Amino acid sequence: MKVVVGSRESKLAVIQSEMVIRAIKEYDDNIDVELVTMKTTGDIILDKTLDKIGGKGLFVKELDKALMDKRADLTVHSLKDMPMEVPEDLPLLAFSNREDPRDAFILPAGASEIDFSKPIGCSSLRRKLQLEKLFPQASFKPIRGNVQTRLKKLDSGEYGAIVLAYAGIKRLGLEERVSRLFSIEEILPAACQGILVVQGRAGYEVPYLAGFADEETKLIALAERSYVRTLDGGCSSPVAAYACIDGEEITIQGFYVDEEENQYIDSIKGSKYEGEALGKELALRMKG
């Protein structure tokens, strides 16, 4: 049996795909697994923010095509980068255990405090709006590119600090670069931050992902995505969601900014099996 895994070609994307490949080999070492990497439109166009060039779909378009053309059997994504609407013929097949979902504050190499004469680099309005409350004296500038590219821009003096998802930093083994981790209360993370997802064709069975798939994370992911989808939040929308499960109960926190730029944070609790309905209910309540 052969399984072809499609991935973006960045170092982090390859490491994440290798986590899936390892799980497949642990299930059955006789499965022949091949990794195929490709550059997506979102990786190529780095001089514009995502909302100016078409949103999150730009990170998955080429990988979706590889699935449809059967050049890949599975593709691996950071779930926070996935569009909220997924084609029915390309379902999400397995959700990983969640890595630390918090955002990380990173200073230039060798620096011990931020130089506020330079901007903080952050790529999302969600982060910027929450960071403005923590650092009212700061200015902000968009930053694009993979983690290594962003660190290079930071260390070259272009920024006073940058903010990245801690999950990616951990997977790259760069924890020593982190100056501070923001608590969930300080900065609510992007929906599904820290979760990997495997996508495939409808009807394609993946018993070999049994050791990779985490059912509790799936419930959390569906709840967070339901909240954002109801608010019609794309990559540029200042929307965030964070859910956690305690026993049989799920708590969902939502961050929402209205047209007048008023910011709201609210939460909802209920059965962990009703997360999608609860996410929608919370979004409608905050929107209304």
Could you give the CA distance from residue 75 to residue 20 in angstroms, rounded to a whole number? 10
Please give the single-letter amino acid code of residue 28. D
Fold that domain 214-288 belongs to in CATH: Double Stranded RNA Binding Domain (3.30.160)
The pLDDT of residue 262: 85
Helix axes 11-27, 147-155, angle to 10 degrees: 150
The pLDDT of residue 50: 46
Helix axes 215-230, 275-287, angle to 10 degrees: 20
β-bridge partners, 5: 35, 74
pLDDT per residue as tens, the chain (288 positions): 999 999 998 899 999 999 999 999 999 999 999 999 987 655 544 455 445 444 455 568 889 999 999 999 999 999 998 888 899 999 999 999 999 999 999 999 999 999 999 999 998 889 999 999 999 999 999 998 889 999 999 999 999 999 999 999 999 999 999 999 999 999 999 999 999 999 999 999 999 999 999 999 999 999 999 999 999 865 566 899 999 999 999 999 999 988 788 889 999 999 999 999 999 999 999 987
Q: Is the dihedral of CA 187, 192, 162, 109 positive or negative?
A: positive
Biggest alpha carbon–alpha carbon distance for the chain:
58
Fold that domain 1-97+196-213 belongs to in CATH: D-Maltodextrin-Binding Protein; domain 2 (3.40.190)
Which residue intervals of the chain bear CATH 3.40.190.10?
A: 1-97+196-213, 103-181
Active site residue 246: no
Which residue intervals of the chain bear CATH 3.30.160.40?
A: 214-288
The answer to whether the beta carbons of residues 121 and 150 sit under 8 Å apart is yes
Instruction: Point out the catalytic residue in the list 43, 64, 73, 81.
Output: 81
Fold that domain 103-181 belongs to in CATH: D-Maltodextrin-Binding Protein; domain 2 (3.40.190)
User: Which residue in this structure is represented by tokens 């994504």?
Assistant: 77
The pLDDT of residue 234: 57
The pLDDT of residue 41: 58
The answer to whether the beta carbons of residues 68 and 184 sit under 8 Å apart is no
| Residue closest to 242 by CA, chosen among 80, 10, 20, 131 | 80
